[in-house]
Structure 1
Amino acid sequence: MKQDILEQLQQDRAEKRPVVLATFLKTGEQRLLYLYGKKGLKDIDPRIGEAARAALLEDKARTIETEQGPLFLNVFNPPLRLILVGAVHIAQALVPMAQLAGYDLAVIDPRSAFGSSERFPGVTLSNDWPDEAMAQMKPDLRTAVVTLTHDPKIDDPALVSALKSDVFYIGALGSKKTHASRLERLTAAGFGPEDFARIHGPVGLSIGAKSPAEIAISILAQMTAALRQPVPAAATAAA
């Protein structure tokens, strides 16, 4: 491996950036592949980009055939992240469950009385407004975002930021009526059906959950399904 590639790979890992190390097995030529927004990889054969994206999603290396011979795609993924918007009771139940599932947690709530270290010990907390906090956190392909406040002033900016990013899961708490109103506001903000298909609202699997802990279980289960069994884009568009 060339020194410049090794140094860049080390920097990417230190900064928790998802990256694929692509190696042409016949020549030894190597390149680092990055994801940029919802469009995937830039300046690369679309088939290679698609395979690299799939490798990152599945967190599993693979070898594909190309015109230059076999290409080995080695995945270097940062830990999974969950950004919760709203330091409410459901968040308090979901945090330890998600930590056990391997997620790094962040809780955003501009209401400092809710988003306090006493209620969320050992968790990254932000009392900034969600759009400001999300800009700093830079959600990516390894990130899930869940809004929990029922307050459009807090939830909507987070949803806008999430929809503009490459997060693998977006969930929004609220009834079907609340969700319909939410989609109307997002439509006015310039989003459309393809974007709305990314939002799980009402959030969580339909398991009859009632308590905050049960709702947290349903959310984590739905996140896991989105991560491990993603719906193909064509299927989503047809739905």
Structure 2
Amino acid sequence: MGFDLETLREAVKTHGRVIRVVIAGIKGSSPREVGAAMLVWQDGQSGTIGGGTLEFQAAEAARIQTAQSRLTHHALGPDMGQCCGGAVSLLSEVYDRNNINDLGDSIIARPTSGQNMPLSVKRLLTEARGQGIAPEAQLIEGWMVESVHKPARALWVWGAGHVGRALVDVLSPLPDLAITWVDTGSKRFPETVPNGVTAVPAAKPAELVRHAPRDAEHLVLTYSHNLDLELCNRLLSHDFRFAGLIGSATKWARFRSRLAALGHSPERISRITCPIGDPGLGKHPQMIAVGVASQLLRPIGQNNLKKDLSA
């Protein structure tokens, strides 16, 4: 996952004082992995470290925490009556408007109790930066090291209607997606756009296709068949990792003919997946969103995704 710096900054901007609680170490079985974190403020929280009782007690302790940084250790079975037989170490750190800008933008390394940086940490940071790699979250000789999270996948959602809104609601909490959301005007979007989503009103959305990364993924579901067609045309002339179009088999048959008339080969046109979603779930926007999200996130590769959706 990595250190979600943008979410932390937004939380501090909104709530002022925020405590980030991260799993710094694990022995045996644990409900979450090292690096899993939650943010806690006076009357709320976000994220999860898992574990039910562990999370509840950690959040309550964070709200009354006075130390800037605190490392605690918890035996999940004996101390909390949980089924996990392991133990976890939690690092709880206070952030506010005075220190949020002190964090790095690629790797965040800091002591848990004020000790000088040990040689092992210096070597790790030198190697990571020299090789351009992101080190795993870990606690080393009293220092916590985490890489700043960078979304790995660019997803462009074309259309802010009922299905587009449902899709963004389902997908926006996922950490590895950087979502660009496009429609023809600002009034097409909800009043509140989820954190991490870039809403782009554009009178001519298809003109934006050339600005999308060539390895981006696209979901085309606007209110207009003509706009859908133009977006498909522009995408085929651009490039993409995946492109899915909402619609029926009849719509797709017509689109294939029209795209062929625009000069695209059958092989090229077949890169677009239509219809999308799981028909067995029904046509309710949230059901469509769940089906599309499930298939979009399968780790079996885009070719298998396309086969599943077009079957």
CA displacement, residues 82-101 of structure 1 (integer Å, 9 cap, x when unaligned):
11111111111111321233
CA deviation after TM superposition for structure 1 residue 119, in Å: 5.3
Question: Cα deviations across residues 86-140 of structure 1 (Å, max 9, x unaligned)?
Answer: 11111111113212332111111114421x351535431222222222223x232
Matched, 1:220 2:293: yes
Deviation at 1:80, TM superposition (A): 0.9
Residue 174 (str. 1) matches residue 208 (str. 2)? no
Out of 105, 112, 127, the position equivalent to 2:201 is 127
CA contact (8 A) 1:84 1:91 kept: yes
The residue aligned with 1:154 is 227
On the 8 A contact 1:83/1:145 being kept in 2, the answer is yes
Look up the match of 2:9. none
Instruction: Sort the Cα spacing of 1:173 and 1:215 in 2 relative to 1 into closer, same or farther, 3 A.
Output: same
Q: Secondary structure at the match of 1:139?
A: coil
Give me the whole-angstrom Cα distance separating, in 1, the residues matched to 2:200 and 2:160: 10
Residue 160 (structure 1) shift:
2.1
| Matches of 2:219 and 2:233, distance apart in 1 | 12
Equivalent pair of 1:107/1:124 in contact (CA under 8 Å): yes
How far residue 215 of structure 1 moved from its aligned partner, in angstroms, is: 0.1
SS at the partner of 1:183? helix
* Distance in 2 separating the partners of 1:175 and 1:187: 18
Normalising by structure 2, we get a TM-score of 0.45
Is this contact kept in 2: 1:169–1:223, CA < 8 A? no
Q: Which runs of 5+ in 2 are unaligned?
A: 1-104, 107-149
Note the aligned Cα RMSD (angstroms).
3.2
- Alpha-carbon separation, structure 2, partners of 1:81 and 1:207: 28
Give the distance between the partners of 2:214 and 2:282, measured in 1 at CA. 29
Is the CA contact (8 Å cut-off) linking 1:80 and 1:103 kept in structure 2?
A: yes
In structure 2, give the amino acid aligned to 1:131. Answer: A
Structure-1 residue corresponding to 2:30: none
Q: What does residue 184 of structure 2 align with?
A: 110
Contact 2:242 2:302 in 1 (8 A): no
1:204 match: secondary structure: coil
**Matches for 1:38-53 after TM superposition, within 5 Å:** none
Aligned length: 160
Query: Does the 8 Å CA contact 1:179/1:201 hold for their aligned counterparts?
Result: yes
The alpha-carbon deviation at position 81 of structure 1 amounts to 1.6
For the structure 1 residues 151 and 175, does the alpha-carbon distance in structure 2 shift closer, same or farther, using more than 3 Å as the test? Answer: same
Moved over 4 A (4+): none
TM-score, length-normalised on structure 1? 0.57
The alpha-carbon deviation at position 177 of structure 1 amounts to: 1.1
Is residue 80 of structure 1 aligned with residue 153 of structure 2?
A: yes
- Does 2:168 match 1:95? yes
Over 3 Å counting, the alpha-carbon distance change for 1:208 and 1:78 in structure 2 is closer
- CA separation of 1:151/1:79 partners in 2, compared to 1, >3 Å: closer, same or farther? same
The 1-side partners of 2:243 and 2:194 are apart by 24
For residues 89 and 186 of structure 1, do their structure 2 counterparts lie closer, same or farther at Cα, with a shift above 3 Å needed? same
Which structure: larger Rg?
2
Q: Is the 8 A contact 2:151 2:178 kept in 1?
A: no
CA contact (8 A) 1:83 1:144 kept: yes
Q: Distance in 2 between matches of 1:159 and 1:119?
A: 28
Deviations 1:49-77, CA, capped at 9 Å, x for gaps: xxxxxxxxxxxxxxxxxxxxxxxxxxxx8
- In the alignment, the residues of structure 2 paired with residue 100 and residue 201 of structure 1 have an alpha-carbon distance, to the nearest angstrom, of 25
Q: 2:253 corresponds to which letter in structure 1?
A: A
Offset of 1:229 from its aligned partner?
2.4
